[in-house]
Homo-oligomer: A and B are copies of this chain.
């Protein structure tokens, strides 16, 4: 068992400064004017005892926590980096601390993040069951969803991106410019909405070009390097014929490229490979990855903004849909812009129609 020396409490400080605990609390919070000399004594006592108020007690006594929580399924893949950056920046701007928990859905009686230790929550796809969302909705606890539609018809604000159009633009490009007809699509993790919408974009683009949908070209990539690697290897082994791969996201694209190379296929000569997200590394791959740029960081910022409105008792936007852009580089078969890869020269095509 742990034996830690008991930290000082507000009573110790009060004793030391010869005032009541109420007064200590007041200089701590600056809620009520306190006599200068008294305040000075209290501060001296605080310093001397090295007193730090216990968060738990404060929260119990009804104070706001000034922190927001972020619930993630896991922090893996390059995707989360810009998202975290945006959220951190947003939280900082709004004057909130940020606490992050990556969770595999677990025992609801023991949530590490919730109304007991935060003023509001950001919830990313797949990190929570609907019951918990419903409960928060019921007690009017501020929650904003990322890349995920709320269950039932709970009106919880959502921030997400133009997945469908982004995917469709990508597939259109492969078909129209590079004459591809047999395009593999690698799905993301089970229940991941981004994946569902990208699949729809894929199908719609096929339909527009009267290309028959072929089930055998759909497989699971898990938005993950390793899983995509294995899947593509398997498709190769099974002799499935294809001339392009839409890997679902950039991480999976890396795995796909690796598998294809290992099998001796040339990219983009034999097979074109495209991703989604435009993670920082996408442009440094060789061939440089053609992909869709998702404004991931901005999604994070905006989510905090909406959450802040909720926490202030204001109304938030029900749905914020952020634009995606086609980023054409080399892995689709287009020629390199120049020897010097200049990001500014990437061709950008916006996903907003018209």
Which residues of A approach B to under 8 Å, CB–CB?
1-7, 28, 50, 52-57, 59-60, 66-67, 74-78, 80-81, 84-85, 88, 97-103, 108-117, 119, 135, 138-142, 225, 254, 258, 261-262, 264, 280-281, 284-286, 311-313, 339-342
Contacts and interface: CB of A to CB of B under 8 A. Distances in A.
Q: How many copies does the complex hold?
A: 2
B340 A262 contact: yes
Contacts of A57: 56, 60, 116
Contact of A313 (B2, B140, B286): B2
A85 B78 contact: no
Secondary structure dominating the interface of A = loop
Given A75-B88, A76-B85, A84-B75, A55 B114 contact: yes
Nearest to A225: B280
Given A56-B56, A57-B60, A75 B85 contact: yes
B84 A81 contact: no
A321 B67 CA distance: 35
Nearest to A60: B56
Nearest to A8: B139
A139 B51 CA distance: 11
Contacts of A1: 313
Contacts of A342: 262
27 contacts: A2-B119, A2-B142, A2-B311, A2-B312, A4-B115, A5-B138, A5-B140, A50-B135, A52-B111, A52-B114, A53-B109, A54-B60, A60-B60, A75-B75, A76-B84, A78-B281, A97-B103, A97-B112, A98-B112, A99-B100, A99-B101, A100-B100, A258-B341, A261-B339, A284-B285, A285-B286, A286-B286
